[in-house]
Chains A and B, each alone.
Chain A
Amino acid sequence: MDWIFIASHVGDYVGGAWVTLRFGLYGVLCSLALGMLCCLARYFRVPVLRQIAVGYIELARNTPLLVQLFFLYAGLPRVGIRFSAEACAVIGLTFLGGAYMAEAFRSGLEAVDKAQVEAGACIGLTRRQNIRYVIFPQALATAVPALFANVIFLIKETSVFSVLAMMDLMNVADTLRTSGGRTVEVLFMLVAAYLIILLPVSVIATMVERRLRYAGFGDQHSV
């Protein structure tokens, strides 16, 4: 292992990691928002929007991100719709992630016991209050593990951003590999970089899940 080569290219990887992390984060945040919207449209049975949400979720979950990005980045400009590579990255990741987040929220909502909804109604809460104080907190707590799994999944998926000519981790590694030929070192650093990004996410996920479990969230059985 050529440690001098590694040391001299740490900077490149930090730059790449920053791109991966930043656009990953944008994508995750937008996905959460879009996922919540879709979930709400379905939960409140909003006409039209609800059908659109269902169709979108099926479309996004059943196509690869790589193909979605090709369509966005190389296909759409030919009919006059042009986005920058960065915009494509965020749009693509949001398109994919929104559907996964929506499903996570939905399964959380479905897990809320019907009796809880009735109990909320019986102490005279309005539907809106019931949703805010009784239903959503429980649904969210149940959805947390799935939401975190999606965060990790989405950050991993950013590895295909290199087809947009973005200098993310994957592209940094690829460029160094083709120019320098130090394949082993280049790949070693790539693996290390993804671990450094994703391990903290996983640790945070475990901590949050444990806290919720300690607080008694998410266990609705015979409470």
Chain B
Amino acid sequence: MQDLGISILFKGINFQRLMGGLWVTLRLALITIGLSCLFGLLFGVLMLSKKRVAKVFCRVWLEIVRFMPQLVLLYLVYFGFARLFGWDLDGETSAVMVFTFWGTAEMGDLIRGALTSIPLHQTESAAALGLKKGQVYLYVLIPQTLRRYVLIPQTLRRLLPQAINLSTRIIKTTALVKMINVTEVLKVGQQIIGQFYRQPDAAFWVYFVIFLLYFLVCWPFSLLAKQLEKRWA
């Protein structure tokens, strides 16, 4: 009897190779998420700026990432920048640049939304509370209380589930680096299938497992986001 194709995954170090491939995209995603949070904070604050130039700048940036497929952006940087500026970027660097460009705008928009969603009466009721306790509190305590105990947690409650969802999307999207010659999990899968070309259903099992791996990585994040949304709704 012939072996099931799935057994090739456990031959030698095949499974480790696959995991190694997955780690390539996950690492890219993690770097991207980190940078996007950092720059997204600046972007979000910039979006709330009163200056027209800043607003238009952010708007255009956001529209670009909303309209252009991430793959097109990847091509622009990976192939285009070499021609235009003579920068010969490798696939992973291009990917981090593109995904951060995208993630920054999306994260920034979420942060803007969370910041503007704080109802005014929150601030007012906090202020009213302070007035009762006297002028000292009004000038000393309230500004700090607002910032530390009212505004930040409120913002986080709204922001966190959305930010987690965006992170899941970033993880899924990093699979695209396959298209700019980065050896990630799909590429490793193809190599394994190539080695075991005698095994007819190898491709089925390899792609099935990759599918499952992505699901197992992304699903917990989705569940977490859903839980937080429910709890903080």
Contact = CB atoms under 8 A, between A and B. Distances in A.
Q: Do A and B bind each other?
A: yes
B157 interface: no
A67 B218 CA distance: 13
Contacts of A74: 203, 207
The winner among B69, B75, B204, B210 for most chain A CB atoms within 10 A is: B69
Q: Main secondary structure on chain B at its contact with chain A? A: helix
Interface residues of B, number: 40
A64 B173 CA distance: 7
A78 B201 CA distance: 5
B178 interface: yes
Contacts of B178: 66
A77 B193 CA distance: 14
Q: Main secondary structure on chain A at its contact with chain B? A: helix
B97 interface: no
B186 interface: yes
A159 B178 CA distance: 13
Contacts of A58: 219, 222
Interface string B167-194: 0100011011011000000100100000
B215 A187 contact: no
Contact of A159 (B71, B189, B210, B211): B71
Given A70-B186, A187-B76, A76 B204 contact: yes
A140 to B, nearest CB: 22
A78 B196 CA distance: 13
Given A62-B218, A194-B72, A202 B67 contact: yes
Interface residues of A, number: 39
Contacts of B206: 75
Given A159-B72, A191-B76, A64 B175 contact: yes
B66 to A, nearest CB: 7
Nearest to A76: B204
Contacts of A198: 67
B68 interface: yes
Contacts of A174: 75
Given A62-B222, A177-B79, A202-B67, A75 B203 contact: yes
B214 interface: yes
Interface of A: 58-59, 61-64, 66-68, 70-71, 74-79, 152, 156-160, 162-163, 170, 173-174, 177, 183-184, 187, 190-191, 194-195, 198-199, 202
16 contacts: A61-B218, A61-B222, A64-B214, A67-B186, A67-B210, A71-B210, A71-B211, A74-B203, A75-B203, A75-B207, A79-B204, A159-B71, A173-B75, A184-B84, A191-B72, A199-B67
Given A67-B207, A70-B207, A156-B68, 10 more contacts: A63-B172, A63-B214, A64-B175, A66-B176, A70-B186, A71-B207, A78-B5, A152-B66, A170-B71, A191-B76
